[in-house]
Chains A and B, each alone.
Chain A
């Protein structure tokens, strides 16, 4: 297992366009998390899944954002009608979901809005 994989690594798009990111977690992990990180800040929690169920969403996740994990394996994060403020690093992490278990992070997708 190569760990958590995220694609693409970089995405440059024009304001107003839609973008979709993919995350492949560690195969035996049932929890999957999405974070956003901007310069000088720590990762900010966006949402997480337990298997295919989306259990918690942050207020940061506006109605332009949607995340799915259709079969409890990979997940996608879509941003519609992108805005300048969406420029950030989007991180995915997975964990075994047991108490005290750490998260394993991917390399992230860097989104730049022109």
Chain B
């Protein structure tokens, strides 16, 4: 069974401090991993995906297969980063797709 764990429900940091949102996964194959973000009163939207290895809004995430992690990082937090962040894994079983989301981490950037 595939599983995604986000250990922190709430993460509070001061503006300008570094941010790391943790995501660990359990999956026997090669996972597709994503970070989604939900700003206040907005719909869930993609932030970044491991396959593209890009930086979006200053955020990066590296897939570490040895530690089965996909932590989200940003060197300098900004107030507009305050939002709910979800890690998601897409796996395949018998040719069918299954998507598992973590429970989410609320990031609160303190001015």
Contact = CB atoms under 8 A, between A and B. Distances in A.
Contact of A42 (B32, B43, B46, B101): B101
Contact of B43 (A33, A40, A99, A108): A108
Interface string A39-72: 0111111001000000110000000000000000
A78 B25 CA distance: 32
A43 to B, nearest CB: 5
Majority-rule SS of B interface residues: strand
A99 B32 contact: yes
A100 interface: yes
A42 B86 contact: yes
Contact of A102 (B4, B9, B34, B103): B34
Interface of A: 3, 31, 33, 35, 40-45, 48, 55-56, 91, 93, 99-100, 102-108
Interface of B: 4, 6, 9, 32, 34, 36, 43-46, 49, 51-52, 86, 88, 96-104
